[in-house]
Amino acid sequence: MTAHDPYGVPPHARPSGDQPGPPAAPGPHPPVPAYGQHAPAPAYGQPAPAYGQHTPAPVHGRPAPAYGQYAPVPPPAYGAPGSWSGWAPRPPVPGSLATATVALAILVTAVQAIVWLTSFAAAGDFASAAREGTASVDVVTAYDGTSFLLLPFQVAAGVVTCVWLWQSRTFAEAVSPGARHARSRVWVWLAWFVPVVSLWFPYQVVRDVRAATTSRPRPGLGWWWAGWLTFSVASNLAAQLTTLTTAGPAETFVLLPVLETAATVGVVLALVFWVRTVRETTAAQRTYGADGQR
């Protein structure tokens, strides 16, 4: 070995050809996981990531997007607004509730007719008791029994009607989102019980639900509301007449059959136009497809 042999290899043992030069300077290393952390293992059949790189995590249970791509948006929940296509299934048609509200309305009208028939004999009984100084509240007649029977049927009809109106309002808002409603949805229930506003709020609720569902609403809804108001006012006046705590003039009870006649005419008028309104609204609801389009 001489000074001309920097590698310390004899000339006859050196390899022929080009000799490698000095090693290149090392470049920057890719980031490595933090101390104590490990890069996630690749899925079965997938190549392992380069040193210092991490396997991309799936997004919403789907493979991670390529570099520069957006992650896919998960589909919306059933009935949730905002799907990419703008479509959401419409609510179901409340056909069974429509049938129930019509049946209960007919039942209320039938019981009211019985109340009207018994009011004639009851008027004579109340008048006789008044002449003897007995208050009408202390007199029990067949009229009282049928009047008490009317109350639970009215309550049942009112509850079912409100449920039907609530679902019909939901349906109307789904198929006609731009339709105008004079009252918010909570008034479907409150409108019938809040004093003073109960004289016109229920009419507005029914009017707007029907208008948002049907293309050409038939006239006559005002007659339904006029009949209902007549029935309500006349029935309340008759109830006050028969619950007097002091004996009044006997001639006062002549008004009892008159008031019940007005109430019966009013409820029959309301029934005719209510049945037509419910059937018209239900028929229009059934013309919409599952996508809310006719």
Residue 290 lies in a domain: no
Question: Which residues form the domain of 111?
Answer: 95-284
Q: Please answer whether residues 118 and 143 qualify as being in contact, where contact means their C-beta atoms are separated by less than 8 angstroms.
A: yes
Model pLDDT, residue 289: 75
Mean pLDDT of the 88-97 span: 89
Phi/psi of residue 13, nearest 5 degrees = -100, 0
Mean pLDDT (the chain) is 83
Residue 17 lies in a domain: no
**Helix intervals (H) in the chain:** 95-131, 142-175, 187-190, 201-213, 221-241, 255-285
Q: Would you call 44 exposed, middle or buried from its count of C-beta atoms within 10 A (0-12, 13-18, 19+)?
A: exposed
Phi/psi of residue 92, nearest 5 degrees = -70, 155
Residue 164 lies in a domain: yes
Give the separation between CA 147 and CA 140, rounded to whole angstroms.
11
pTM to 2 decimal places: 0.70
* The total number of structural domains that make up the chain: 1
pLDDT 10s digits, 281-292: 999 999 997 666
Residue 45 lies in a domain: no
Residue 70 lies in a domain: no
- Between 197 and 71, whose confidence is greater? 197
Residue 22 lies in a domain: no
Q: Would you call 124 exposed, middle or buried from its count of C-beta atoms within 10 A (0-12, 13-18, 19+)?
A: middle
In the chain, % of residues over pLDDT 90 = 64
| Cα dihedral across residues 118, 124, 128, 133: positive or negative | positive
How sure is the predictor about 68, in pLDDT bands with cuts at 50, 70 and 90? low
Residue 63 lies in a domain: no
Mean pLDDT of the 162-191 span: 96
Residue 11 lies in a domain: no
Alpha-carbon distances of 91 from 85, 117, 291, rounded to whole Å = 18, 44, 10
What tokens were used for 49? 């990531």
Phi/psi of residue 59, nearest 5 degrees = -110, 120
pLDDT above 70 for 86: no
Give the separation between CA 141 and CA 242, rounded to whole angstroms.
10
Q: Please answer whether residues 153 and 270 qualify as being in contact, where contact means their C-beta atoms are separated by less than 8 angstroms.
A: no
Mean pLDDT of the 134-142 span: 94
Mean pLDDT of the 180-195 span: 96
